[in-house]
Amino acid sequence: MAVVSREARVSRAPAVKLSLNRIMLWVVGLGVTALVVWRIAGTAALGLYGPDVWLMQTLNGLVQGSMYALVALGYTMVYGILLMINFAHGEIFMIGAMSGYFVLNGFHQSGFLASNPVPALLITFIVGMGVPPIVGVLLERIAYRPLRRAPRLVPLICAIGASFFLQQAVRLLFGIRTKVYPTVAVLSGSWTITVGEREMRIQHMSVLIIVITIVLMVALYLLVRKTKIGKAMRAVAEDKEAAALMGIDVDQVIMVTFAIGAILAGAAGVMWGLWYKQVIHTVGFIPGIKAFTAAVLGGIGNIPGAMLGGLFLGFVEAIAPTALDISTQLKDVISFGLLVIVLIFRPSGILGEVLTGKKA
Amino acid sequence: MALLEIDNIHTYYGNIHALKGVTISVDKGEIVTLVGANGAGKSTTLNTICGILKPRHGEIRLNGESLNTLKPHEIVAKGISQAPEGRRIFSRLTVMENLEMGAYTRSDRNGIAQDLERVFSIFPRLKERARQVGGTLSGGEQQMLAIARALMARPRVLLLDEPSMGLAPILVQEIFSIIREINQQGTTILLVEQNVNMALQIAQRGYVLETGRVVLQGSAKELRENPEVRAVYLGETRH
Ligand SMILES: Nc1ncnc2c1ncn2[C@@H]1O[C@H](COP(=O)(O)OP(=O)(O)OP(=O)(O)O)[C@@H](O)[C@H]1O
Ligand SMILES: [Mg+2]
């Protein structure tokens, strides 16, 4: 039985040869890391901020990270199954945010939001998570499926085109005016806790966002691990032809994958609206890129990786300006700097697997 | 009428004319073997039957019903499943999940549970490894899983593409006796093999394929005694 090929096996062995290039990269990576540590130590030594500030930033980071993670899941699932970056995914998020706005604003105007805030919010989330999968599935059907056998660059370019198309379509339909989510009274309250000697306020909204994110992640985990369609998704991700030979409808599974990614992005869109208030047709761009970064950080194609990558990125963005004592304006630099550093040390992402041959 | 009829099919890979009018029929309850050199078109034939490849001409019928317009998953639902060349098990799914995928088109819980019992009794090693991921199985175990997975569809016709490839001689014996056992339990089998000697021992009939054409066909006995076959596939020197 020694003759067997085991190339299908997954290994975590470092696949990268130690070349001069890599050594130089490591030196750069270690240098930057040392700089960051030195800077953090400096800030900590000054003792400018109490534990309440750090806790607050952590909480904000988790809220932001939740949204990144939910969007990142869509990138990573589609990549896992089609080896394609769906660059229009940020626009799917934007459509969720927009849909949520129209519902919540309608409820606000009619007074339903004030009288029945909980059902109003529930319906907002349902619509905000219900419209994006329709768009996502159409996008797959119209723009990506015909290109499935084309060279990998072609669907990528098509996705960029689709991204512009969706942005402009929303602009034409709903105008360029920034839409402002109405304030939801039940969510704008906060709990006050004491940390050290200081008081700290925890917004209801942040707790709601984190709780919904946890629920969605657990649901996704159970779906992918335990249900028939989830197992089929994993089978299709691994080998489409073999999956078809088992009687799995591959097109349907791909469609479901797009739909699930879009539902999660839609939830993140509504959260974004509730948290930052303002939405516009371009609102998906930056979060889209950040979530993509998070997916790569975690290891693209890997579901727990996207969750971890998103939360990690959100956390670092929130905490780094304080820790490094620099302007929050620089948080984008921090995210992409982080990406570079992580990729220097772990080219396939934090939880990324080094796949022998097939996917790498 | 034969259970499975492959009627003059022509299959292409782009411009490459891989099957040039292949006609094969498989009767209910038979083991039919398809032999031929590397590149003769054996796997292409199986994949055309399964709908992974579409024939440009010709027709494939199961029980008289054309399969030409059906998608691969619909063909599985009609009763044809394949253990493909190179096993192609899902290496990140557990043995149990692989088997569940084999039964994907079915919804009869009791029937699936029965078939699970059955494949575990045929392949007791898989039962021991039910929770292990497929990628950690040995080659022989992977082959068993590939066959078991195809059986989970409860096929009317089971297609096996080189089930003995890369296995130690003892295991080859075991796999062939298992194939015979599966057939005796009522599954019709179309078997592609490089091990022509063994294949002609368990099959009732056989076809010899050469560069996309059937060049010989007959009962297993006839083929075993055919001088061409003896020379080319059974490795004997011509007298
Ligand atoms: N994906 C493909 N693209 C182009 N040509 C192909 C492809 N797959 C097979 N062929 C060609 O079609 C012919 C038949 O191949 P096939 O795989 O059916 O042979 P086979 O009889 O199964 O051989 P083996 O015993 O080596 O498995 C060969 O000439 C092969 O080169
Ligand atoms: Mg072959």
Tell me the mean pLDDT in the region A105-120.
Answer: 96
Q: Does B40 contact ligand 1 (Cβ within 6 A)? A: yes
Per cent of chain A over pLDDT 70 is 93
| pTM for this entry | 0.91
Tell me the mean pLDDT in the region B139-161.
Answer: 96
CATH number of A49-345: 1.10.3470
Find the B67 Cα to ligand 1 centroid distance in Å. Answer: 22
CA distance A181 to A30: 44
- Per-residue confidence (pLDDT) for residue A349, from 0 to 100: 87
CA distance A18 to A360: 18
Tokens of A7: 């190339």
Interface contact A7, partner B, CB < 8 A:
no
What contacts A154, CB < 8 A, 6 or more positions away? Answer: A147
- Per-residue confidence (pLDDT) for residue A3, from 0 to 100: 36
What rounded mean pLDDT belongs to chain A?
89
Report the b/e string of B64-81 with b at 16+ CB within 10 A.
eeebeebebbebbbbbbb
Out of B10, B19, B35, B44, give the residue to mutate to test ligand 1, the one with the largest number of ligand atoms within 8 Å of its CB. B44
Q: Does B86 contact ligand 1 (Cβ within 6 A)? A: no
Summarize pLDDT for A272-330 with one digit per residue, the tens: 999 999 999 999 999 999 999 999 999 999 999 999 999 999 999 998 888 887 888 88
Mutate to test the interface with A, among B13, B81, B91 (most CBs of A within 10 A): B91
Closest listed residue to residue A261, CA positions, set A15, A50, A77: A77
Please, is A97 exposed, middle or buried when counting C-beta atoms within 10 Å of its C-beta (0-12, 13-18, 19+)?
buried
pLDDT of residue A6 exceeding 50: no
The amino acid occupying position B213 is R
Closest in A9, A232, A245 to B50, CB measured: A245
CA distance A53 to A51: 5
Tell me the mean pLDDT in the region B184-204.
Answer: 95
Residue A354 banded pLDDT, cuts 50, 70, 90:
low
Closest in B97, B139, B171 to A231, CB measured: B97
Summarize pLDDT for B221-235 with one digit per residue, the tens: 999 999 988 888 877
User: Listing from the earlier edge strand, what are the strands of the sheet with B57-62?
Assistant: B16-26, B4-13, B57-62, B65-66
- Per-residue confidence (pLDDT) for residue A37, from 0 to 100: 83
Superfamily in which the B1-79+158-239 domain is placed by CATH: P-loop containing nucleotide triphosphate hydrolases (3.40.50.300)
Give the single-character DSSP code of B136: G
Residue B201, H or E segment: helix B196-202
Tokens of B40: 């003769």
Closest listed residue to residue A131, CA positions, set A173, A177, A176, A79: A173
Cβ atoms B166, B139 nearer than 8 A: yes
Residue A50 banded pLDDT, cuts 50, 70, 90:
confident
What rounded mean pLDDT belongs to chain B?
94
- Per-residue confidence (pLDDT) for residue A358, from 0 to 100: 41
- Per-residue confidence (pLDDT) for residue A18, from 0 to 100: 66
Tokens of A237: 């991700």
Domain range summary for chain B, segments of one domain joined by +:
1-79+158-239, 89-154
Interface contact B147, partner A, CB < 8 A:
no
Tokens of A156: 């990528």
Give the three-class secondary structure for B46. helix
Closest listed residue to residue B204, CA positions, set B173, B232, B179, B233: B179
pLDDT of residue A2 exceeding 60: no
Residue A183 CB-half CA count within 13 A: 3
What contacts B150, CB < 8 A, 6 or more positions away? Answer: B81, B82, B83, B102, B158, B159, B160
The number of residues in chain A equals: 360
CA distances from A36 to A11, A319, A320 (A): 32, 13, 9
Closest in A3, A5, A246 to B104, CB measured: A246
Give how far B239 is from chain A: nearest CA, Å.
34
Residue A5 banded pLDDT, cuts 50, 70, 90:
very low
Summarize pLDDT for A207-263 with one digit per residue, the tens: 999 999 999 999 999 999 999 999 999 999 999 999 999 999 999 999 999 999 999
Domain range summary for chain A, segments of one domain joined by +:
49-345
What contacts B185, CB < 8 A, 6 or more positions away? Answer: B118
Q: Which of A51-60, B4-13, B55-64 has the lowest mean pLDDT?
A: A51-60
Find the A36 Cα to ligand 1 centroid distance in Å. Answer: 56
Give the three-class secondary structure for B153. coil
CA distance B6 to B62: 9
How many angstroms from the chain centroid is the CA of residue B230?
A: 23
Tokens of B61: 């019928």
Tell me the mean pLDDT in the region A110-120.
Answer: 95
Residue A14 banded pLDDT, cuts 50, 70, 90:
low
Report the b/e string of B196-211 with b at 16+ CB within 10 A.
bebbbebbbbbbbbee
Tell me the mean pLDDT in the region A324-342.
Answer: 84
Name every chain B residue with its beta carbon within 8 A of the beta carbon of A244: 50-52, 71-73
* A228/B73 Cβ within 8 A: no
**Ligand having the closest approach to the CA of B35:** 1
Residue A152 banded pLDDT, cuts 50, 70, 90:
confident
Tokens of A321: 């300006």
Interface contact B72, partner A, CB < 8 A:
yes
Residue A123 CB-half CA count within 13 A: 14
Instruction: Report the 10 Å Cβ neighbour count for A178.
Output: 12
Phi and psi, residue A283, nearest 5°: -65, -20
Give the single-character DSSP code of B238: P
